[in-house]
Chain A
Amino acid sequence: QEQLVESGGGVVQPGRSLRLSCAASGFTFSSYAMHWVRQAPGKGVEWVAVISYDGSYKNYVDSVRGRFTVSRDTSKNALYLQMNSLRTEDTAVYYCARDQAGGSGYLSVFDIWGQGTMITVSS
């Protein structure tokens, strides 16, 4: 079935880097835009980044722009989030999510989600 599985979470000190991965299966990964969404402990949900189906378009929430980079490897059916200069306020569960639209379109409706991976930024 259609599935997303995140990995790479953990505890990291402020200012350090971490890379998250998201493995996709059960659907044609190369046909969908993909998003990263996060949720701080006990808080609401925040959209973080999007990458187009072909990787040609990327966009970020202002709070991570210049520090985070989203990328994808179609040959591995994998999505990545490189997080640099981490801050305590980046502490959250990070989810990868599929854009429901497929192809070159965007609905920015998140129809398939991973189980999430926890990032704790603390000294």
Chain B
Amino acid sequence: DIQMTQSPASLSASVGDRVTITCRASQTISRYLNWYQQKPGRAPKVLVYVASTLQGGVPSRFSGSGSGADFTLTISSLQPEDFATYYCQQSYSAPYTFGQGTKLDIK
């Protein structure tokens, strides 16, 4: 199975900050990497897929980059509604594994 490792596990930031979350796969996964946002009591929501394609309706302050085994999610200017937990997920091969999550909270 492909292991996904996110860093940091948690992050405190302020509204307006630029934030970067990283995700590393245990093997190369080309660009088959997706990012989700999850708020308490809610299902995850896809933000970015195949590394850098923004899902429809997702604000342009979110962006993804990377290929191979190393990927990043960047939020250019944090908004109050962005405080949540973020997960990466590889869609290269089954089982489609997720990272352990990065909890982003307000400083």
Residues of A within 8 A of B (CB): 35, 44-47, 50, 59, 61-62, 95, 97, 100, 106-111, 113-116
Is residue B46 within 8 Å, beta carbon to beta carbon, of the partner chain? Answer: yes
Identify which of B44, B94, B96 gathers the most chain A CB atoms within 10 Å of its CB: B96
Chain B residues packing against A (C-beta within 8 Å):
1, 32, 34, 36, 38, 43-46, 49-50, 55, 87, 89, 91, 94-101
**Highest count of chain B CB atoms <10 Å: which of A44, A46, A114, A115:** A44
In the complex, A95 Cα to B1 Cα: how many Å? 21
Which secondary structure dominates chain B's binding surface?
loop
Q: For residue A30, give the distance in angstroms from its CB to the closest CB of chain B.
A: 22
Give B103 Cβ to nearest chain A Cβ, in Å.
Answer: 11
| Cβ–Cβ < 8 Å partners of A50 in chain B | 94, 96
Query: What's the Cα separation between A62 and B38 when bound, in Å?
Result: 25
**Neighbouring A residues of B50 by C-beta, 8 Å:** 107, 109
**Contact A113 B44, CB 8 Å, known A107-B91, A108-B91:** yes
